[in-house]
Amino acid sequence: MIKPLTLIGLLWVLFSSTGRAAPLSGEDVKWLNRVTYGIDNATVTAYLAQGRAQYLNRQLQKYVDDHVPAPVADLIAAMRISQEPPKMAALAMQDENRRVNKLPLEQRQPAKLLLNQQVGGKMLEAMQRHLLRAVYSPAQLKEQMVWFWFNHFNVARDKAPMVKILLADYEDRALRPNALGRFRDLVMATLQHPAMLVYLDNTQNAANKINENYARELMELHTLGVDGGYVQQDVQALAHILTGVGMNWSDHFPHLSEQMQPYYRHDGGFEFNPNRHDFSDKVFLGKTIKGNGFAEVEQAVDMLVRHPATARFICHKLAVYWVADAPPPDLEARMVKVFSATDGDIAATLRVLFESPAFTASLGTKVKDPMHYVVSALRFAYEDRPMSYMQPAANWLNDLGEPLFGHDTPDGYGMTEKDWLSPGQLTRRFEIAQRIGGGKAPLTGQGVDPKTLTAPVLTNRLYYQAFEPYWSAQTKAALAKATSQPEWNGFFLSAPEFMYH
């Protein structure tokens, strides 16, 4: 064992024997590592002060305090995505795109390259902001639910430049406010957000030109599930119900007859244009929906979110994410009962999950997906070294096959062991563990001289409080063979126990 580790270990034994630090049981550590993105000193302090029940109560509040520390908040506030309204960004991109397309051919390509760089810059800011919040927010359960819902209501960054422009707003307006609220609100918020409407082509869906893409995914992936009991005729009916639901960022509204004006809706970039809507009656899931404009959409969503298949599908996905790849049927049944009785209250449904014996029994057995792995490593390794440049972390997620906002198909990333535990995946994780443990990535600031960077000291008090007492003798024997702090760090972040939560 390297000498600093021996000394720190001795000091920790002496310190803990004074009674100045309350003990953490192995179950406490595993519980925190599941409910959060990974423990740090701030998490442990809050948990020990509040106790498990109160800590969970606070994490499950819909309006939980999710303010990041002031330096991180300042970083986020300085981002262009925080200062430029999405309407302004969308209109500017559309105007610039029109201008570029009118340029002579020899000027068009470099102008398009510059425009793509500007659009990409906003996407990169959205990625960095997401990671900063995941690492530093005290509302760790909410941050994981934002990630969960982004996968569930997936939009892919490479679909179109407009999606890249709107990623930040999609997360902030559609997902974050509703992550622990009611499921219907989530569905309606995503349905009315231009990022979703562009991604799944509903901006092209009109009475005289039906596009079924969004209607199909709204049932198959967002609500009922693939085995939800609907048929192709229901997809077609829902597509007709969704006609006219689209995007309009401008202040130029369509010319509407006096009869159509009461049906028109416009909010930000969302538009319901009755001129494009099919006002005929439709038969959807065995029920006739009278032609009534956007009210048809609201009626269809009510039918979908309150359908028994939706309760089963959503509760199963939640249980897979939080408990096990094959969750106990009795747990899912209790969750379904609460989900249905509370009209889709997400926090109430999660409480059943977190307070179940199945959840406790599963602790430490669920493999971390790349997002959870990278964020947990950063939360432990860089707690006392504030990070301001998250591009290396975003690159690591690319290397691990889970780039932020990068899943092209609408089903989102998988969340089971078979998705993320292959020999190739482990090899890449070991390499990233060495990069994080070596401390050479410029996480503390873009342009920092690599020569000034040093390895974080992971042989610290938190290690001896929350890891060392509960890890296997085999893992501790491997750590003892390290000959330097960077090597020890790499071993630690590659340990089997660190791969699971």
Which residue's structure tokens are 């890249």? 164
* CA–CA dist 168, 161 (Å, integer): 13
Those residues with Cβ within 8 angstroms of residue 138's Cβ, 6 or more apart along the chain or in another chain = 42, 46, 65, 66, 67
Burial class (CB in 10 A: 0-12, 13-18, 19+), 16: middle
Identify the pLDDT of residue 364: 96
User: Would you say residue 7 has pLDDT above 50?
Assistant: no
116 CA to centre of own chain: 25
* CA–CA dist 146, 222 (Å, integer): 15
Identify the pLDDT of residue 230: 97
DSSP string, 85-131: -HHHHHHHHHHHHHHHHTS-HHHHHHHHHHHHHHHHHHHHHHHHHHH
User: Would you say residue 21 has pLDDT above 60?
Assistant: no
Grade residue 170 by pLDDT with cuts at 50, 70 and 90: very high
Beta strands in 252-344 (DSSP E): 265-267, 270-272, 282-284, 287-289
Q: What's the mean pLDDT in 468-476?
A: 95
Identify the pLDDT of residue 383: 87
**How many separate helices (H) and strands (E) can be counted in the chain?**
26, 5
- What residues does each domain of the chain span? 3-40+366-499, 70-305
pLDDT tens digits, 41-61: 999 999 999 999 999 999 999
pLDDT tens digits, 332-372: 999 999 999 999 999 999 999 999 999 999 999 999 999 99
